[in-house]
Amino acid sequence: MVRKRSRTSDDPTPVISIIGPGMEVVGDCRTDGSIRIEGRVHGEVHAGKAVVVGRDGTIEGDLRAEDVVIAGEVDGSVVAASRLEVHETARIHGRVIAGSLKLAEGAVLNGEVSMEPHALDGTEHGRVAPASPTEDGAEVDPVRAPVGIS
């Protein structure tokens, strides 16, 4: 006899979404759980838990999560609230904000790096803290701010 397993909202089973090899997503990807990218994403990726970009995975857009592991390529900003691990095959072109960073020899990282513990505090699901005002009152997005402005 086969029983259906019901899922409840308080089920502790982790949810992992996968964008497989050869798959291409055009648009933003958002999840409360984790996501593994082995294909290509043209858009933002936001995860409440973790994002893993495999060797052949690519993201053309911003990436935000609690923990991030990159072995492929990201062309956009990367915000890892807790931990960012960059493997030797990784290529990142954009601003990086991370609570902690592990960078392997051979990895390519072209962009500004900021070590900010709890980079996403006070926000939900990988959203960066709101823009902060400058001296002239204009708001500055902390991910897209030019060098020297925070």
Task: Report the SS3 class of residue 45.
Answer: strand
pLDDT in tens, 80-135: 999 999 999 999 999 999 999 999 999 999 999 999 765 555 444 344 443 444 45
Q: Which of helix, strand or coil describes residue 89?
A: coil
> What is the per-residue pLDDT for 42?
98
In angstroms, the CA 61 to CA 63 distance is: 7
CA 115/CA 149 separation, integer angstroms? 15
Query: What local confidence, expressed as pLDDT, does residue 116 receive?
Result: 77
pLDDT tens figures, 121-140: 544 434 444 344 445 555 44
pTM metric for this prediction: 0.72
* pLDDT tens-digit map of 9-46: 565 666 789 999 999 999 999 999 999 999 999 999 99
Say which amino acid occupies 16. I
pLDDT for the residue 141 = 47
pLDDT band for 2, please (50, 70, 90 cuts). Answer: low
Domain ranges in the chain are 16-118
